Structure 1
Amino acid sequence: MVAKTPYERAESDALYLPTSPAVVLLAILVILALLCAAYLAAEVVLPIVLALVLKLQFQPAMRFLDRLRVPRGLAALALILLVFGAIVGIGAGVSGPAAEWASKLPNGIARLQERLKFLSEPIDTLRTFLNEVDGSMPGAGRPSTNGGGSASAIAASLFSSTTYFARSFFETILILFFLLVSGSTSLKKLVEIMPNFRDKRQVVELSLEVEKNISVYLITITMMNAIVGVATGLAMWAMGLGDPVLWGVVAFLLNFVPILGPLTGVGVFLLAGLLSTDTPWLALLPSVVYLTIHVIEGEIVTPILLARRFTLNPVLVIISLIFWFWMWGVPGAFLAVPMLAITKIVCEGIRPLAAIGHFLSGDG
């Protein structure tokens, strides 16, 4: 067998995109059709997508229980009860402290205004400048029909998204249960309809590789977020903020939403610090500690554990967060990055789509 020259090896490893206009146009139309279906049929599609993502996280535990010869139905039921029972228990545990902190807001607003009065002059200057700019624009001077309602609109949007997610909770659990029980039935059926042995082997290898990579990614991210939650809770307790479980859960959940989640967390801990202490510099300490923990996890530990093959393009991460939040609300924001990572891993495992997977990768 003649060895390939360096040029031939480079050609074989090159990434190609389809150049046929008909193929490109057809791919765009298919993607648009899928996105329209995901938007219009969100009540059906969202529980299915969430169940598929959870199934990939539960798969290693299901394989372990299979090796112990535990019936799949019993194993799936036990895992679901364990995980979702823990979620319900933690939610019930943090509801009291969360309500207590929420009750501090009405009385704390006056205190916050008093402590932050040194910002009133630059804010008034900026407001005057914006009013002058707005007055010089065409159509200025017309009364605003929705002024002051943006905060309530955002709150209503978040509440409706949370209610929508809760309504889909049972559907997600039901779909997840049957996905875990069915195991590799769908893969076996797909292998059976493949025309030759080479295609059958390729389907099996690709399926196992994709499932393994995605499971590693999702489990690693979940574990790192849990560590961030524990570290944040202990740090807030040590600083006298109290309610370590509440702050740990907040940090854990926000860390699933890259960039935007930690920024929200900085604001939350800054507000908590301002409400809990009278010293301005000490009030900044919770947010600074939280940001430090996040930077250590996000910039040092997680990239080392996941390596380059799991890094994502940060620009596409932001676009994905905004897009899926618009599509599906809060659940979409939580699923945006896992879906982007799944897309990247699947594309890298399929030769014709390898260029797309490379485009979704980061610089790590």
Structure 2
Amino acid sequence: MVKSPDDHLNKPDMPLPRDASAVYRGGLFILALLACLYVAKEAVLPLLLAFFLKLLVQPGMKLMKHLRVPRLIAALVAVAVLLGIVFGLMHLLSSPASEWAHRLPQGLPRLQQRVSVISKPIDTLTKLFKHAQSAVVGNVHQQPSSSGMDVKQILFSTARHFVSGFVWTFLMLFFLLLAGDTFLRRLVEVMPTFGDKRQVIDIAQQVESDISIYLITITIMNSLVGIVTGLGMWLLGLPDPLLWGVTAFVLNYVPIFGPLTGMVMFLAVGMLSLDPLWKAFTPMALYICVHVTEGEAVTPMILARRFTLNPVLVMASLLFWDWMWGIPGAVLAVPLLAIFKIVCERVRPLGALGHFIQGERRRVWEP
């Protein structure tokens, strides 16, 4: 029997909540939960990042389990591989990144000369912001030494938080891999009815399957984006193509904001490095072509059957989690929204909300 495209409109199992007090209590619970997540982000973020890294390496863990590798050894191997990739890339990119950091201040006059058309509006906006700041804050003169100390303290604090979060993330990842399905089994055991047990298993399996495939697919596609971008920058004669390939790989994990940042970055790099002026726009043009091909055709074609999220809600999720947790929140925004959709679709009182989050299923190659 062929199903009509409008069959989903007639689903009887999506009841709308009718108890106003229940909706009110649920709203208060969500607000309290979000407030706790905001306050406790330094503790919650490493745990969430470790959870998603676990889903990313889950196929490798299953393969090692099939090969009868002990779980302790498999967990150590998985963590060691991830750490090796991270530290290897940091070692390869540290030298070119530092060179560009020293080169950028020297190239600012050249960059200003090439964008002289928009320099006057920028200067006007800068003066306007300075006047507004002085009007609101007042003319407060700071000592140069204290300003320098503030910058050093900010840099030290940022580095300390990054290292602490990095260490805790990989420690949590190791223990999550070591625990395996222990938490799921304990959760199933405490469920009161057989139906509840089946529902918990169904949600857990769907989250693991869908999010794992999403993360692996996105990682593979981002790697291809990085490779193609690096090769393209090498063909254009841009210095350090490996650096720009890895930059494109990392930025592609953040939908919308990442590619926009990449466009500005590649435009600036082209302006600093390539002559004549028309050629300076080619790195940005190449990056846009690669991103549009991947983001609008290839990746949606692969993930269309599993992930159909409302694009407006995806954008709202990006803005919200970026405000909550910064860049890590923007990276986790889409997986978190996908998990929320999976849970809503399998919990009957939340079925209408899950249906609302779902986007339109589109055919990629049709207008």
TM-score (norm 1): 0.86
* CA distance in structure 2 between the aligned counterparts of 1:158 and 1:21, rounded to whole angstroms: 49
Deviation at 1:15, TM superposition (A): 2.7
Find 1:297's aligned residue among 289, 294, 298. Answer: 294
* CA distance in structure 1 between the aligned counterparts of 2:305 and 2:112, rounded to whole angstroms: 46
Q: Provide closer, same or farther for how the CA distance between residues 325 and 284 of structure 1 changes in structure 2, counting only shifts above 3 A.
A: same
1:352 aligns to what? 349
SS of 1:105's equivalent in the other structure is helix
Judge which range, 59-68 or 111-120, deviates more: 111-120
Q: How many residues align?
A: 349
Judge which range, 336-345 or 75-84, deviates more: 336-345
* Identity %, equivalent residues: 51
Q: Is contact 1:228–1:297 with CA below 8 Å preserved after alignment? A: yes
SS of 1:362's equivalent in the other structure is coil
Q: Is contact 2:13–2:348 with CA below 8 Å preserved after alignment? A: no
CA RMSD of aligned residues (A): 3.2
Q: Provide closer, same or farther for how the CA distance between residues 181 and 95 of structure 1 changes in structure 2, counting only shifts above 3 A.
A: same
Judge which range, 197-206 or 65-74, deviates more: 197-206
2:223 aligns to what? 226
1:106 aligns to what? 105
Matches within 5 A, 1:254-265: 254-265=251-262
Letter of the structure 1 residue corresponding to residue 135 of structure 2: R
Deviations 1:75-99 (A, max 9, x none): 0110011012111110121111111
* CA distance in structure 2 between the aligned counterparts of 1:182 and 1:342, rounded to whole angstroms: 21
Q: Is contact 1:50–1:172 with CA below 8 Å preserved after alignment? A: yes
SS of 1:357's equivalent in the other structure is helix
Letter of the structure 1 residue corresponding to residue 54 of structure 2: K
TM-score (norm 2): 0.85
* CA distance in structure 2 between the aligned counterparts of 1:261 and 1:9, rounded to whole angstroms: 34
Q: Is contact 1:98–1:246 with CA below 8 Å preserved after alignment? A: yes
Matches within 5 A, 1:57-96: 57-96=56-95
1:319 aligns to what? 316
* CA distance in structure 1 between the aligned counterparts of 2:133 and 2:84, rounded to whole angstroms: 55
Unaligned runs of 5+ residues in structure 2 are: 1-6, 143-147, 363-367
Judge which range, 152-161 or 220-229, deviates more: 152-161
Deviations 1:120-172 (A, max 9, x none): 45657x759x96xx99xxx999376599x9xx999998996665233211111
* CA distance in structure 1 between the aligned counterparts of 2:53 and 2:191, rounded to whole angstroms: 28
Q: Is contact 1:225–1:256 with CA below 8 Å preserved after alignment? A: yes
Deviations 1:246-293 (A, max 9, x none): 111110111111111100000000011011013111000000000110
Residue 142, structure 1, aligned to residue 135, structure 2: yes
* CA distance in structure 1 between the aligned counterparts of 2:112 and 2:347, rounded to whole angstroms: 57
Residue 195, structure 1, aligned to residue 188, structure 2: no
Residue 269, structure 1, aligned to residue 293, structure 2: no
